[in-house]
Amino acid sequence: MTNLPNPLRIAIIGSGPSGFYTAEYLLKQAAKSGLTIEIDLIERLPTPFGLVRGGVAPDHQKIKSVTKAFDRIAADPRLRFFGHVDVGHDISHQELLDHYHQVVYAVGAQSDRHMNIPGEDLPGSYPATEFVGWYNAHPDFRDLTFGLSATAAAVIGNGNVAMDVARILAKTPDELAKTDIADYALVALAHSQVTDIYVIGRRGPLQAAFTTPELKELGELDCTEVIVRPGEVALDAESAADLAASADKVTRDNMAVLEAMSQRPAQGKPRRLHLLFLRSPVRLLGKDRVEAIELAHNRLTRSSDGSLRPHATGETEILPVGLVFRSIGYKGAPLPDTPFDEAHGVIPNEGGHVESGGELLPGEYAVGWIKRGPSGVIGTNRPDAVETATHMIQDALAGDTLQPAHPSRAEFEALLASRNVEVVDYAGWQTLDRLEREAGAAVGRPRIKFSRVEDMLAALHSEAEKLPS
């Protein structure tokens, strides 16, 4: 057997679900494979968990309970959390290669896709990614403001993120106060003037990407009624045939809920959430800010791959709205000096092994959304991580790794210290977690999140001063 590095030093860049699941599998398989490993989980923010913290809707606390499993993974002494370390700023790509035998990019997909229509850059038009980050207290988005004085809003897209955005806009302050929504967002939304929310999909109800629980939640809002006109859920012949022949349970359940909603009598609630299908945004209208959106009406036709695709009929409508959120997909962003596929928003790879110019790069890997694109739910990242980690184990056993000049953890820590990087370890995160929960408990909420990095660091300094010297 090839002489193995002892220990095999692995850096995982990003501490969302894909990063944790990769670490979990590597830790489990290392001993079985005769490998001694050390994993450094490197995160730009002082807080871990990626979109579980910064993307999952604040009223979906049950989904966030997956972090308990991540806590167990982080408790393994072979893993160290390096929070508040920014790859590309605090350390370079080359320095990673100089300090680790293997590097895994688990950085997710942080940016959004554009509609590429006239007026998209008008004030009042925003990517849903920014709104989601804002109401989830993500430091990158904490200081944004949104035009909540508008009385009508459009959400473009009908996946679960679009539903989250619509639901947060539709909830009352009392409903939101039971969640861990950012405290400043709670105040801003309490003063929102939005009374009509339009969720707009370019295809039909059968092709909608939201899940049934998300759809049902809309019908349970205190002061908002869901409006689905019967014509919106009337299927064309091709869609009806697909529903009868091959639709999965989620699609059938969605159609049943939508049809029930379309038959529900008006309830007279002060807010209304309208579900619109077979419409594509053509342009945003307005002089100084968004005043309306022009929508093209679509029909579905069968494409060469068998799917139903929308095509404009020539009919359009103007919808008066003062606020537009585009929720048509996340997109990955390039890391400095790392191969990147601009067209697909991913790091090019073969089964997770990074490639450049058709050749696999020794010791470099990708996992999660930056590997496959923004698809699936949290659990989808587990088999994805297993695929990447399996290649890593096989490559390590074959001796196909990087040959770092400075492979010890002490050397990496010394590099960060030389640059005055204030590293937050997992115990530091657990302190922040406790403080957030305590602040929330005082007012009957799950937690009140820190939303500024400087406030997190100040809180840690304050807690450290309380410890006996």
Sign of torsion, CA 324 330 335 339? negative
Residue where a domain stops, chosen among 272, 298, 330 = 330
Q: Is residue 465 part of a domain?
A: no
Q: Is residue 84 part of a domain?
A: yes
The structure tokens 């997770």 sit at 352
Same domain? 287 vs 389? no
Residue percentage of the chain with pLDDT more than 90: 89
Name which residue leads in pLDDT, 135 or 250: 135
Return contacts of 25-34, CB within 8 angstroms, 24+ apart.
25/385, 25/386, 25/389, 25/390, 26/389, 26/392, 26/393, 27/73, 27/76, 27/78, 27/79, 29/389, 29/390, 29/393, 30/78, 30/393, 33/393, 33/396, 33/397, 34/1, 34/4, 34/397
The structure tokens 């209304």 sit at 272
Name which residue leads in pLDDT, 7 or 245: 7
pLDDT at 441 over 60: yes
pLDDT digits (tens, 9 = 90+) for 340-389: 999 899 999 999 999 999 999 999 999 999 999 988 889 899 999 999 99
- 406/426 Cα distance (integer angstroms): 24
pLDDT at 305 over 90: no
What's the pLDDT at 370? 96
Contact 384, 90 (CB under 8 A): no
- 348/211 Cα distance (integer angstroms): 30
Parallel, antiparallel, or unpaired: how do β-strands 271-276 and 353-356 relate?
unpaired
| Spatial CA neighbour of 63 closest among 46, 50, 45, 79 | 50
Q: What are the residues facing 350 on neighbouring strands?
A: 353
- 223/226 Cα distance (integer angstroms): 10
At residue 89, φ and ψ (nearest 5 deg) are: -120, -60
- 82/80 Cα distance (integer angstroms): 6
Same domain? 292 vs 147? yes
The helices-and-strands tally (H runs, E runs) of the chain is 17, 18
pLDDT digits (tens, 9 = 90+) for 225-239: 999 999 999 999 999
| Spatial CA neighbour of 449 closest among 47, 60, 40 | 47
pLDDT at 336 over 80: yes
What's the pLDDT at 1? 45
Same domain? 266 vs 404? no
Residue where a domain stops, chosen among 330, 365, 386 = 330
| Secondary structure class of 273 (helix, strand, coil) | strand
The answer to whether the peptide bond before residue 7 is cis (omega within 30 degrees of 0) is yes
| Secondary structure class of 462 (helix, strand, coil) | helix
Domain tally, the chain: 2
pLDDT digits (tens, 9 = 90+) for 48-92: 999 999 999 999 999 999 999 999 999 999 999 999 999 999 999
The structure tokens 């990019």 sit at 105
CATH number at residue 26: 3.40.50.720
Residue where a domain stops, chosen among 330, 348, 381 = 330
Token pair, residue 307, equals 């799917």
Q: Is residue 439 part of a domain?
A: no
Same domain? 243 vs 325? yes
Find the mean pLDDT for residues 273-296.
Answer: 97
Parallel, antiparallel, or unpaired: how do β-strands 271-276 and 196-200 relate?
parallel
Same domain? 160 vs 302? yes
Contact 272, 218 (CB under 8 A): no
| Spatial CA neighbour of 164 closest among 268, 54, 294, 67 | 54
Same domain? 140 vs 249? yes
Same domain? 184 vs 307? yes
Calculate ∠ Cα 406-407-412, nearest 5°: 75
Same domain? 392 vs 414? yes
Same domain? 177 vs 315? yes
pLDDT at 34 over 60: yes
Return the top range by mean pLDDT from 1-5, 328-332, 462-466. Answer: 462-466
What's the pLDDT at 299? 96
Same domain? 326 vs 193? yes
Q: Is residue 469 part of a domain?
A: no
What's the pLDDT at 111? 81
Contact 3, 96 (CB under 8 A): no
| Secondary structure class of 294 (helix, strand, coil) | strand
- As a whole number of angstroms, the longest Cα–Cα distance in the chain is 76
pLDDT at 3 over 90: no
Contact 106, 367 (CB under 8 A): yes
Q: Is residue 261 part of a domain?
A: yes
Q: What is the DSSP letter of 264?
A: P
> What domain range is 24 assigned to?
8-110+332-424
pLDDT digits (tens, 9 = 90+) for 156-214: 999 999 999 999 999 999 999 999 999 999 999 999 999 999 999 999 999 999 999 99
Find the mean pLDDT for residues 308-329.
Answer: 95
Give the strands of the sheet with 349-350, arranged side by side: 79-83, 37-43, 8-13, 102-105, 359-366, 353-356, 349-350
Out of 19-23, 252-256, 326-330, which region has the weakest mean confidence (pLDDT)? 326-330
CATH number at residue 205: 3.50.50.60
Token pair, residue 143, equals 């200081």
Q: Is residue 320 part of a domain?
A: yes
Same domain? 278 vs 385? no
What's the pLDDT at 15? 98
Q: Is residue 431 part of a domain?
A: no
Contact 331, 111 (CB under 8 A): yes
pLDDT at 2 over 70: no
Q: Is residue 449 part of a domain?
A: no
Same domain? 310 vs 239? yes
In DSSP notation, 387-447 reads HHHHHHHHHHHTT-S---SS-SHHHHHHHHHHTT---B-HHHHHHHHHHHHHHHHTTTSS-
Supply the pTM of this predicted model: 0.94
